[in-house]
Amino acid sequence: MGNVLRDLRPLVAAPAATKPQCSSLSRSFHRATLRLQDDSKSDKPPSSSSTTYHEHYQAHSAEQDTAAAAQEDSTSDPAADQASRPNTSYQDQGGEQGEEYETEEQLQARILTAALEFVPQHGWSMEAIAIGAETLGLSSASTGMFYNGAGDLVLHFLAQCNSQLTDILAEQHNQVQLGQAERKKTADFLRDAVETRLRMLIPYIESWPQAMSILLLPHNIPDSLKHLSTLVDDIWYYAGDRSTDMNWYTKRAALTGIYNTTELVMLQDSSPDFQDTWNFLDNRIQDVVNMATTTKQVECLHQIALRRNKGVKR
């Protein structure tokens, strides 16, 4: 695919060299047809957008005979280009300065993020995606990109919530490392992490049962399980779990159980600010803690008994 796009470039760059006043138009076309080629190109250190644009354009046109003319164009045009860009849809929202080209995944992500706003009204459906695409200035036919339909929207929302949670947990972790915050006890940490994550569902709580049923469709189950396992793994990692034996599995299984049951309770909770749900969560976590304590106590007793037996034998 990269080769096909590279072949398109001579067609696009040639007019740019010959007609400087139309170069901004052809450069928009250029941008619309090109995609990010390598990850390595995007890893340049942040610099002012005009110089990066210059480097980009130079990299692409290096193989061409019109390189000299193209260089003149690119040095004179970035400022004009920025003024003449009709909308901000080509400007990167991910944080890297001067990223001119957007991948398909990034575009899909932007459409789905925009679509989330319309979910309370239209549910988790292609309609919401279509309206989201329209708010970005794209045609509603761009929903054709989403083969999984509503499933894409729900999975995108899951991924977004999980990465938000990871950012919050990482920030807390940094603060503890810097000594600016106290380290929480494991039970409290788990409780806060699950509560934070479940609170992200509150704006969509009316339609969440529909989302859950979408996630239970057979073709969505692998992805939803993957998101769930990543979520639980992240929470335990930041809670400080570094186990490398069966505890790795039991801890994650316990937390998965806690999370899923609390989510279900939240769906039919009508108390103010979901207080019943948080009480339920507290109780479940306390159960797990009690179970762990009891296991330890039984183990200790077992060790004591073993030692006593050895002593008697000798």
Partner 1 sequence: MHRAAHTALYDWSNILGPAMIRQCLNCRVPPQLSSRAYSVVPTPCDSEEKEMLDRMLRVDHAGEYGANRIYAGQMAVLGRTSTGPLIQEMWDQEKLHLSKFNEILAENRVRPTALLPLWNIAGFLLGASSALLGKEGAMACTVAVEESISEHYNSQIRALMERDPERYTELLQVIKEFRDDELEHHDTGLEHDAEKIPGYWLIKNAIQLGCKAAIYVSQRV
In the bound complex, what is the minimum distance in angstroms from residue 309's beta carbon to partner 1?
Answer: 15
Toward partner 1, which CB reaches closer, 75 or 230? 230
In the bound complex, what is the minimum distance in angstroms from residue 79's beta carbon to partner 1?
Answer: 29
In the bound complex, what is the minimum distance in angstroms from residue 254's beta carbon to partner 1?
Answer: 16
* Interatomic CA distance for residues 165 and 168, integer angstroms: 5
Toward partner 1, which CB reaches closer, 7 or 310? 310
* Interatomic CA distance for residues 195 and 190, integer angstroms: 8
109 in Cβ contact with 93 (< 8 Å): no
Within 10 angstroms of residue 165's Cβ, the number of other Cβ atoms is: 19
CA dist 226 → 1, 214, 229 (Å): 29, 15, 5
Which residues, 6+ apart, have CB-to-CB distance to 90 below 8 Å? 28, 31, 100, 102
Toward partner 1, which CB reaches closer, 97 or 140? 97
In the bound complex, what is the minimum distance in angstroms from residue 242's beta carbon to partner 1?
Answer: 4
Toward partner 1, which CB reaches closer, 39 or 105? 39
In the bound complex, what is the minimum distance in angstroms from residue 227's beta carbon to partner 1?
Answer: 15
Toward partner 1, which CB reaches closer, 79 or 253? 253
In the bound complex, what is the minimum distance in angstroms from residue 18's beta carbon to partner 1?
Answer: 38
Which residues, 6+ apart, have CB-to-CB distance to 127 below 8 Å? 118
77 in Cβ contact with 24 (< 8 Å): yes
Distance in angstroms between the alpha carbons of the first and the last residue of the chain: 76
Nearest to 203 by CA among 108, 275, 132, 116: 116
Toward partner 1, which CB reaches closer, 29 or 248? 248
User: Which residues would be at the binding site for partner 1 (CB under 8 A)?
Assistant: 39-40, 42-43, 166, 170, 173, 233, 237, 242-246, 248-249
